[in-house]
Structure 1
Amino acid sequence: MAKKLTELQARGLPSKDNYQKKTLVLQRWKENILGYGFIFPAFLVLGAFVFYPFFQSVYLSFFTTDPSGNIAEFAGFQNYIHLFTNSEFLSSLGITLLFTLYTVPASIILALLLAVLTYNKWKGMQIFQLIFSLPIAMTIGTSSLIWMLLYDPSTGLFNYLLHHLGLPSIQWLNDPSWALISVSIMSIWMSLGLNYIILLAGVRHVPEEIYESARVDGAGSLRILLQMTIPLMSPYLFFVFVTSVISSLQAFGQFNILTNGGPADSTNVFVFSLYQEAFVNFQYGLGSTRALILFVVIMLLTWLNFKFGERRVHYQ
């Protein structure tokens, strides 16, 4: 037999080992082609709606455009210089950061407290869990219209309650000192559903034996929450914090419906000013520049979160 294999190799015919290797290589090629075939539709969608718009924005940021969106002339870095010397741009960036400061901590703390209060599997607790999760099922448009009715200065529920408490009415969306706070309250409610679901899963992930041991040692509820629950569910809190920051920096729909950037530009957040520049003033070059700056800001803040915030995360 060995003599026959030697003769086959001498004639240039493949041996049994070489045949098996070629079969394995061919099988791997088929698997790779099949795998690429499955991801190709997703790649097309990402290319059409993510990669192409991104590179097109980079390209347009170096040009000025006419009202039709056609390139007029090369501007170089003039669009960037114009924005960073524009008081309106710096103001919108500051309003966006202030909106983030209003909404992110409040939404996380509120969702955490509700998750801690309702994680038990007591009878009837699922009703409260369903109620606190409901905002996730509401679209921005629907939620904004509901809150617009609540904020109505003459027929809204909030001013009705203030009137019965003997307090003066508030121009929630028409007063520059209240407009951003009003939209922030609505945004906190909107983000509550998703944050609550994630943090509820985090609280349930903590073993019940740890709570029982702490109670036996005499630890109170507040101490258990601060020294045990929060550290053990830190991966969930970190994820919610990062996604909430990104979401707040990209907020647009509620401002467009409730305040339209007003009054007196008090709610002119970054994405709304981008929309105004590109689709109202038809300055696609400046709009693309704003979009890229927002991309850089989000990337920088996300990197800082992972650089310094993840050190406090305890993965089990």
Structure 2
Amino acid sequence: MKLALHDTPNLSLNPKTSLWKQTQKARVAFLYLLPSILLFSVFIFYPMFKTIYLSFFLTDQQGEAALFVGLDNYQDLLTSQSFHKSIKATLLFVLYTVPAGIIIALFLALMANEKLRGIGFFRVIYSSTMGISVAASSVVWLFLFHPSTGMFNRVLNLFGIAEIQWLLDPDWALFSVSVSTIWLNLGFSFLIILGGLQNIDEHLYESARIDGASYWYQLRRITIPMLSPTLFFIITISLINSFQTFGQIDILTKGGPSESTNLIVYSIYKDAFINYQFGTASAQAVVLFICVLLLTILQFKLGEKKVHYQ
């Protein structure tokens, strides 16, 4: 009897049984992931592949493919002066908004992280822009930038400075929209950076103070390195969001004057829903997707090397 029990094969070591268990786990995992897969398929994958498909066609006013043109839409973009202006305006907009927004948010977060009485009030004020929609904030800035009744020109008049056509002058329009965008995105960046600051181990600062390290030394050697994962995340998100800016442009300038604020996303909107050139708009969307993808990959390749994880 003992020999019979000893000779009985162990079912748990049976390859067929192990494969069956793995298959069961995969099925259960797929069922849990099915709702997300369906949502991604409907709202992300299908629109993406449809956009790539339409970029090779001329379309009718309903957005349906009418004539296959191959790469002609992309060739037209390369020779289009309007598209070149859109690229230049987009790159300048990113350059204006991303570094300035992160530096200001970091400065405010450093101040709000101090253990002072009543500092919670300032934390609420600094993060309050998160609760304001793009449309509402753009309307407010529209009044502030008004050439005759706006607050900014009234302040300039007090100092005897000539009025500026903030949204009507091609030299100032993109800068003006960038200022409103920095203000709008400040709350989100501030909260994320403040959360990163509060997660830094306080013992590091105590040891530095015992050794007589100054505030600036602590900032350079402790705060910034420990905050680098948070800063890396904020830079990545801010870059992607800046390339996708639309609401402020639509309300404040409509892409003008002289296409100085005609960012790529707004150019896509005009071609698709005003000019009904869905093929050209799709080609621009594909180019924008490739640019953002390459920048993100480049940032991960170069920037993540300088990130210090605890």
TM-score of the superposed pair, with normalisation by structure 2: 0.92
What displacement does 1:167 show?
Answer: 2.5
Of 88, 92, 95, 1:94 maps to 88
What is the DSSP-based 3-state SS (H/G/I as helix, E as strand, rest coil) of the residue aligned with 1:314? coil
Deviation at 1:216, TM superposition (A): 3.5
Pairing 1:107-186 to 2, within 5 Å after superposition: 107-186=101-180
Mapped partners of 1:225, 1:85: distance in 2: 48
Residue 253 (structure 1) aligned to one of 247, 251, 259: 247
Look up the SS of the partner of 2:36 in the other structure. Answer: helix
CA distance in 1, matches of 2:19, 2:301: 42
Counterpart of 1:275?
Answer: 269
Aligned with 2:223 (options 221, 229, 253): 229
Between the aligned partners of 2:169 and 2:204, the Cα distance in structure 1 is: 50
Q: Could you tell me which residue of structure 2 aligns to residue 12 of structure 1?
A: none
* 1:208 maps to 2:202: yes
Matched position secondary structure for 1:72? strand
Percent of counterpart pairs with the same letter?
45
Deviations, residues 156-181 of structure 1 (Å, cap 9, x unaligned): 22222222333222211111111100
Shift of 1:34: 3.6
* Match in the other structure for 2:11: 18
Partners of 2:33 and 2:202 lie apart in 1 by 41
How far residue 139 of structure 1 moved from its aligned partner, in angstroms, is: 1.5
Deviations 1:165-210 (A, max 9, x none): 3322221111111110010001101111111111111212222222
More deviation, 179-188/217-226: 217-226
The 1-side partners of 2:301 and 2:21 are apart by 42
- Determine which of 292, 297, 308 is the counterpart of 2:302: 308
Normalising by structure 1, we get a TM-score of 0.90
Whichever of the two has the greater Rg, that structure is 1
Cα RMSD, aligned residues only? 2.2
Q: How many Å separate the matches in 2 of 1:308 and 1:63?
A: 37
1:48 aligns with 2:42: yes
- Aligned mates of 2:182, 2:35 — CA distance in 1: 36
Give the distance between the partners of 2:134 and 2:13, measured in 1 at CA: 59
Gaps of 5+ in 1: 10-14
Q: Which amino acid aligns with 1:193?
A: G
- The Cα shift of 1:89 comes to 0.7
User: Tell me, which stretches of 5 or more residues in structure 2 are unaligned?
Assistant: none
